[in-house]
Structure 1
């Protein structure tokens, strides 16, 4: 008989699963090979960019991942994603204002978590 204690399988935290799902959705939205938009691009495009970075920031921080990793990863990903769209995806174009909107989403996400935690104290 084996005397080793049985190891328990650790279940993923729901917030961590949400974080991963949001990162996958973000990657699909940012790197889909072709996006056909009818008519002029309006401010709603920037709102989508803010949300694409705000929601994963919130989920990652609330899941308990190290803030430096979550914020660092997403802050670096913002401009890099625009460069990839501009140089590597033939039917997409990078936009500096999209990167600004992305970074704004990260900042708003961090702010919501910090303020929310301060208010609960």
Structure 2
């Protein structure tokens, strides 16, 4: 269920016209990117997707979304640094999920 909510949320966040995107402190958008992709990774792995396939699909999604932001008439720019932030988020989400699973097994839950 969380993944079913997060996918449309990510589409809105990534493809809303530039004029509707709120601004914040410099580079704060990188935290938003990392957080969004961490949440997507966690939701996908919890939903049963393998961590490798989750990483692969989300990396492609991150790259394609930045290319589309640069070519669609939505007044957004593709940014390699956003893809890097997405990648950090994906890695953090997957690692966090795997650590929590391992800890739960260790506790016998």
Aligned partner of residue 92 in structure 1, secondary structure: coil
Q: Deviations over 1:38-96 (max 9, x none)?
A: 77761211100001111011011112233333222111111111110011234100111
Show structure 1 runs of 4+ deviating over 4 A.
36-41
Alignment of 1:13-32 (within 5 A): 17-32=1-16
Q: Tell me, which stretches of 5 or more residues in structure 1 are unaligned?
A: 1-16
Aligned partners of 1:101, 1:38: CA distance in 2, in Å? 18
Aligned residue number for residue 61 of structure 1: 45
Higher relative contact order (CA 8 A, sep 6+): 2
Aligned partners of 1:53, 1:39: CA distance in 2, in Å? 19
Aligned partners of 2:8, 2:20: CA distance in 1, in Å? 21
Aligned partners of 1:40, 1:58: CA distance in 2, in Å? 26
Shift in alpha-carbon separation, 1:41–1:80, aligned structure 2, 3 A: farther
Shift in alpha-carbon separation, 1:117–1:76, aligned structure 2, 3 A: same
Give the TM-score taking structure 1 as reference length: 0.76
Task: Note the aligned Cα RMSD (angstroms).
Answer: 1.9
Q: Tell me, which stretches of 5 or more residues in structure 2 are unaligned?
A: none
Q: CA deviation at 1:20?
A: 1.3
Aligned partner of residue 23 in structure 1, secondary structure: helix
Aligned partner of residue 64 in structure 1, secondary structure: coil
Give the TM-score taking structure 2 as reference length: 0.84
Larger radius of gyration: 1
